[in-house]
Chains A and B, each alone.
Chain A
Amino acid sequence: MRNSLEPKPQRSAALLVVVLLILLAGLLQWVYFTHAATAPGAGLTALAQAELPRSGVTNPVTAVLLNYRALDTLLELSVLLTAMLGIWSLGPATPGYQQAGAVFAGLAAWVVPLLILSGGYLLWIGAKAPGGAFQAGALLAAAGVIQRLGGDPRASLPNESAQRWLAIAGIGIFALVGLATLVAGRGFLDYPLAWAGWLILLIETFATLTIATLLTAAYVGGQPPPSQTTATPGMHRMQAPDRKA
């Protein structure tokens, strides 16, 4: 591993790496194809489908994400939170961009509400069809990114304290629901069937807000400036956007 400060690797070392990697690729292909030809795994389709009525949602992917393997999602949100906390610890946010011109502002005025609306839709539809908290949160975050590109240094996020609460809301509600089921004697995140749909929606709603906040805050790229800062003119530098958003 080298970071950007180290010298270029030796030609011979590079060659060695290439040879080894070709061997690795060959090995992987061979192993996988041998296996797929003789004993492919059956997958969990049938099981996931069979348990779907007990999950509270009808979209199997959402069932996996928020019920069967809800813990993965809880931790995944924590990873995102960690990234944001790490980013904040690395210094203050860069100054925002120049106030956008009329064309961009006009576009933003169209696109942002659309994004918010689509986000809401994706959140709701997630129970039945592809969609859900992450997709919705990503759209909302896109709205924030547009706002920042348009000159809002805070990308429409509220002040730091509120950002902090928003950043934890989704994870907090997730954990609270889990604790509630635990206290009710059912075990952590073991939703009662009658409530499962609603609890999942509740979690997803807050998770959407949290994901949107975290992604936007990550894009802003540092601890939020104290309130009532204005955009510093003259900064045109593009940040590397989060590809996934």
Chain B
Amino acid sequence: MDAELLYASAGFILFVLGIWSLLLHRLLIRKLIALNIMGSGVFHLLIATAEHHGEPADPVPHALVLTGIVVAVSATALALSFGRALRGDGDD
């Protein structure tokens, strides 16, 4: 099996696992990890897409992944901050 198909396949599985974890877990931190796993899934797919046999890798999906990562970091940071504000100084 080609590497990129494996990547894509793994990407789909990661994405679905992410949704599963997001929907069925209660803790914010798990939900955020789940969202990031979903993101990784999509990025896997994009990386797989960039691969074309014999040619250099397609730079566009790579750039999309980089942009996507920054966006995911931003969202995660904001959500964590929400969690902290909600928790106040109480327990986690």
Residues of A in contact with B (beta carbons under 8 Å apart): 1-6, 8-9, 14, 17-18, 21-22, 24-25, 28-29, 32-33, 36, 41-46, 48-49, 60-61, 63-65, 68-69, 72-73, 76-77, 79-80, 82-84, 86-87, 90-91, 94, 134, 211, 215, 218-219, 221-222, 239-240, 242-245
Contact = CB atoms under 8 A, between A and B. Distances in A.
Contacts, number: 146
Contact of B77 (A14, A45, A68, A83): A83
Closest 6 CB pairs of A and B: A60-B59, A64-B63, A83-B74, A43-B58, A218-B77, A87-B81
What secondary structure prevails in chain A residues at the interface with B?
helix
A64 B59 contact: yes
Given A4-B26, A134-B66, 19 more contacts: A1-B23, A2-B23, A3-B28, A25-B12, A28-B16, A45-B55, A61-B62, A65-B63, A76-B67, A80-B73, A80-B74, A83-B77, A83-B78, A86-B81, A134-B69, A219-B77, A222-B81, A239-B80, A244-B70
B27 interface: yes
Given A17-B24, A29-B12, A76-B71, A49 B56 contact: yes
B12 A80 contact: no
A36 B3 CA distance: 13
Contacts of B23: 1-2, 9, 17
Given A21-B20, A33-B5, A240 B80 contact: yes
Contacts of A244: 69-70, 72-73
A4 B32 CA distance: 11
A94 B42 CA distance: 34
A14 B26 CA distance: 13
A242 B77 contact: yes
A189 to B, nearest CB: 15
A83 B84 contact: no
Contacts of B74: 79-80, 82-83, 218
A241 B55 CA distance: 38
A135 to B, nearest CB: 9
Interface in B61-92: 61-64, 66-67, 69-78, 80-85
B81 A48 contact: no
Contact of B16 (A24, A43, A86): A24
B75 to A, nearest CB: 7
Interface string B1-28: 0000100110011011001101110111
A44 B71 contact: no
Nearest to A23: B16
A21 B26 contact: no
